[in-house]
Amino acid sequence: FGNWLVPLMLMVPDMHFPRLNIMKFWFVPNALILLPFSGFLEGGVGAGWTIYPPLTSIEFLGDPSMDLAIFALHLGGISSIAASLNFCSTAINMRQSQRWVHKIPMLPISLAITALLLIIAMPVLAGALTMLLLDRNFATSFFDPVGGGDPILFMHLFWFFGHP
């Protein structure tokens, strides 16, 4: 919705990075197909919506369904970061030079602020998901207390993403 309305409100022909815009557009259907499909694999994704590490460890969910769900969440995160960069760049660089900030409608400003929050919070979730994937497949121990990891660390990283 913002991809259509923000250029109209800023009186510009298109978003600042149209190729980045189409890339993030094609990542969303892939993520939306892979995430539900991961639930239909052998064991399913039985970790809940917060995917906390004791429930997602390889001992409890040994099948590849959790790995596919983590990959789908990565694709969605990449799409969100790309959209956020595009919204911020469009709001800052594409406005007409004689239009001051107080003359711009509220929607582009609010979308730019939301995009800024996503740029801050989404890489934290991506890092937490990457550490979770490494714990599952490459025997690291970021969240395994037996190997010196901290299972509460994932909760802190997840809630930083969820409540910036």
pLDDT in tens, 58-111: 888 788 899 999 999 999 999 999 999 999 998 888 766 666 667 788 888 899
Q: Structure tokens of 139?
A: 């025997």
**pLDDT, mean over the chain:** 89
Is residue 29's pLDDT more than 90? yes
The predicted model gives 10-35 an average pLDDT of 92
Q: Structure tokens of 17?
A: 């990075």
Instruction: Report which residue type is found at 68.
Output: L
pLDDT band at 164 (very low <50, low <70, confident <90, very high): low
How much of the chain, in percent, has pLDDT values that exceed 70? Answer: 95
Give me the count of residues in the chain: 164
- Tell how many helices (H) and how many strands (E) occur in the chain: 6, 0
pLDDT tens figures, 37-51: 998 988 888 888 888
The CA angle 153-121-88, to the nearest 5 degrees, is 170
The predicted model gives 17-33 an average pLDDT of 94
pLDDT: is 33 or 93 the higher one?
A: 33
User: Exposure of 90 by Cβ count < 10 A (0-12 exposed, 13-18 middle, 19+ buried)?
Assistant: buried
Interatomic CA distance for residues 113 and 49, integer angstroms: 26
Is residue 31's pLDDT more than 90? yes
The pLDDT, as a whole number, for residue 73 is 94
Is residue 26's pLDDT more than 80? yes
